[in-house]
Amino acid sequence: MARPNLQLIDALRRTARKLKEGAPYQWGHMGGCNCGNLAQELTKLNKDQIHAYAMQRYGDWNEQVDDYCTASLMPIDLVISEMLGAGLMLEDLKHLEKLSDREILKRLPAERRYLKHNLRDDVVLYMTEWANLLEEQLLARIQLPDSVLEPATVTV
C-alpha cells in the first residue's frame, strides 16, 4: 500500500473532484484513464503527453508497470518514477487501474464493493476512499508530545 503523505492524499482528492466535476475520462486512453488522471495531478503533464509517452512502448498501465525500469530513460518510466516518488507502489497502480485493492474495497458499503474499473463514478468513489484510508494512516502515525496533551495551567 502507498506511503501515506499529504501530497498523495491531496492528489487523490483533487483527481476525484475533477473527475466528479467532469474532467475528461476515457479508460482506454493512457492519459485519461484511472492511472492517467492521477498521473496528471502528480506530474503536471496533460493527458495527451502521458498517452504519447506510454505509446512509445506497448501495453496498458499493467503492462507498463510490469516493464517499468528505474534505469530506463523511457518517458513513461519517468512518469511512473514520479508517481512512485509521491508515495505510490507499483502494485497501487495496478490496483488503481482495475479498482481492485481489497483494503480499500472492504471499507466501502457491501453493496458498493463490486466496482467497475471503467465507470467514472466508481473511480471517484475508489480514489476518495483511498485518500480517506491514507489520511487515517497518516494521522495514526502522529504522536504529540506529552506536554501538549496535558491541560494548560492558568496563573492568576
Average pLDDT, the chain: 93
Instruction: Report yes or no on 135 lying in a domain.
Output: yes
Instruction: Report yes or no on 83 lying in a domain.
Output: yes
> For residue 94, how far is the Cα from the chain centroid?
11
Q: CA–CA separation, 19 vs 120, rounded Å? A: 7
Instruction: Report yes or no on 76 lying in a domain.
Output: yes
Average pLDDT over residues 137-144: 88
Say if CB 77 and CB 68 are below 8 A apart: yes
Task: Please determine, for residue 142, whether its predicted confidence score (pLDDT) is greater than 80.
Answer: yes
Instruction: Report yes or no on 114 lying in a domain.
Output: yes
Alpha helix stretches (DSSP H) within 21-74: 34-43, 47-54, 61-66
Phi, psi of 6 (to 5 degrees): -60, -40
Instruction: Report yes or no on 152 lying in a domain.
Output: no
Q: How many domains does one find in the chain?
A: 1
Q: What is the pLDDT of residues 34-87, one digit of tens each?
A: 999 999 999 999 999 999 999 999 899 999 999 999 998 899 999 999 999 999
Host domain of residue 16 = 6-142
Instruction: Report yes or no on 94 lying in a domain.
Output: yes
Which residues make Cβ contacts (< 8 Å) with residue 73, sequence separation at least 6? none
Q: CA–CA separation, 60 vs 55, rounded Å? A: 9
Q: CA–CA separation, 140 vs 155, rounded Å? A: 33
Task: Please determine, for residue 151, whether its predicted confidence score (pLDDT) is greater than 80.
Answer: no
CA quadruple 45, 22, 36, 138: dihedral positive or negative?
positive
What cell numbers appear for 38 in the block? 492521477
